[in-house]
Structure 1
Amino acid sequence: MTAPRAAETYVEETRFGVWFLRSHVWQHHVLRVAIDDLVRRVDGPLPEAPVLLDAGCGQGKSFGLLQRAFRPSRLIGLDADPHSLDCSRSEAQQAGLAVELLAGDCAGIPLPDTSVDILFCHQTFHHLVEQEKALAEFWRVLRPGGLLLFAESTRFYIDTWVIRWLFRHPMEVQRSADEYLAMLRQQGFCFGPSQVSFPYLWWSRSKDFGLLERWGLSRPKPVGQRDETLVNVAARKPLEPRA
């Protein structure tokens, strides 16, 4: 008997997607690269011994990377999929990490107000139907001055034939990089140009995984002249409330 989902709006992943999220490519070419980039984007020193929430932790492949990057005093993983949480539990045990696992949706995080120092949201938002509610929850659980480390694929990547064929997403909520940035600012998060990057990695090339460029048949377009497929942001919740 399949365990109940923690969110009614959860869109179940394909078998390929479930396999991919435990692969070497996912952990080392996607997660590790994103975490390294986000660390470089942070304005100022990292908090010491932070409470860190991985919102949409999937199968827990991020846990060891987050532990090394941030040395949290408390590491929490949240996911709406029971199978993913089982995998996360095994991943944490194998890595010898004390990770608190929560079954829940990002639109209703089961944590108190202002209880988190760093919220890591990696490749989760494009799976969420209730994105505005989720972002409001991120704001609620983060302490003033807390960090939101946000890494997303945009609709220019999600809405391609290969991704639609291999994975499953709620297509009606997909956004561009600019729309994600506007959404973060509207919620109240603060960040400047140096806290934002638009990675153009081989696996995120929307049509050919960069093969034509590697073969010398085309040249990569610079930022501002292409439809961005990825956006990374190291944003802060201000210390002072908005007027």
Structure 2
Amino acid sequence: MKLNAIERAAMNNPIRAVHQHHREAAWFRRLGGGDLRGQEVLEIGCGRGVGAEVILDRLHARRVTAFDLDDTMVELARKRLHDRPVTLSVGDACDIHQPASSHDTVVDFGIIHHVPHWQQAIAEIARVLRPGGLLLFEEVPRHLLDTWAFRTFTVHPRENRFEADEFAAELARHGLHGTARIEHHLGGLVFVGAAQKT
């Protein structure tokens, strides 16, 4: 599901970029057991390319493959990342056009809660991860999406949303097991964690 104008403004601004580069990168380093030095990383929902910058500059991945459902965002990311080791495309988290067991790490900067059939996205992430590979995730829980503000000003699927424990259970169902306790940040606005493919 694509973002509306309000969500684009909230996600595509300098404050959000600084937060991703500093706080979110630190959360992922801690939860993932360090950086991603030398790894092939897949980012789902690349937006305008800030996440890929974080993965390269803060987590030290060797190469990033990233996609987004919104072709406008992919074009913005191409302009931002034109000289970086990044491959960009338009794509769907429920049908990832990557070979099985092709990536060391998958990074989710708050995308899966936008996906109507999010369980299929989890299955696809598990498919493209190598054995021992890592999923780093930051997500928005159902109780926040159910608030008046989110229902009024944002566009999200209304049904089939998740809390952190339900998300973790679905990961485990696909062989992705938590490497640490899921953390709740920003007063419960998001939860973050890491899961490893067995």
The aligned counterpart of 2:19 is: 29
- Matches for 1:116-195 after TM superposition, within 5 Å: 116-192=103-179, 194-195=180-181
> Helix, strand or coil: the match of 2:26?
helix
- Matches for 1:28-107 after TM superposition, within 5 Å: 28-30=18-20, 32-43=22-33, 46-93=35-82, 96-107=83-94
Corresponding residue pairs, total: 198
2: CA distance between counterparts of 1:38 and 1:67? Answer: 13
The 1:231/1:78 distance shift into structure 2, 3 A limit, reads same
Larger Rg: 1
Q: Runs ≥4 in structure 1, deviation > 4 angstroms?
A: none
1: CA distance between counterparts of 2:175 and 2:132? Answer: 12
Q: Deviations over 1:146-194 (max 9, x none)?
A: 11001101011122122222221111122111111111112111224x3
8 Å Cα contact 1:42-1:195 kept in structure 2 = no
2: CA distance between counterparts of 1:60 and 1:117? Answer: 20
Alignment RMSD:
1.8
Gaps of 5+ in 2: none
> Residue type matched to 2:197 in 1?
K
1: CA distance between counterparts of 2:91 and 2:197? Answer: 23
Q: Deviations over 1:106-125 (max 9, x none)?
A: 11101111110110011101
Instruction: Please identify, of 169-178 and 103-112, the stretch whose mean Cα deviation from structure 2 is larger.
Output: 169-178
Query: What is the CA-CA distance between 1:46 and the residue it aligns to?
Result: 4.4
The 1:52/1:126 distance shift into structure 2, 3 A limit, reads same
Identity across aligned pairs (percent)? Answer: 27
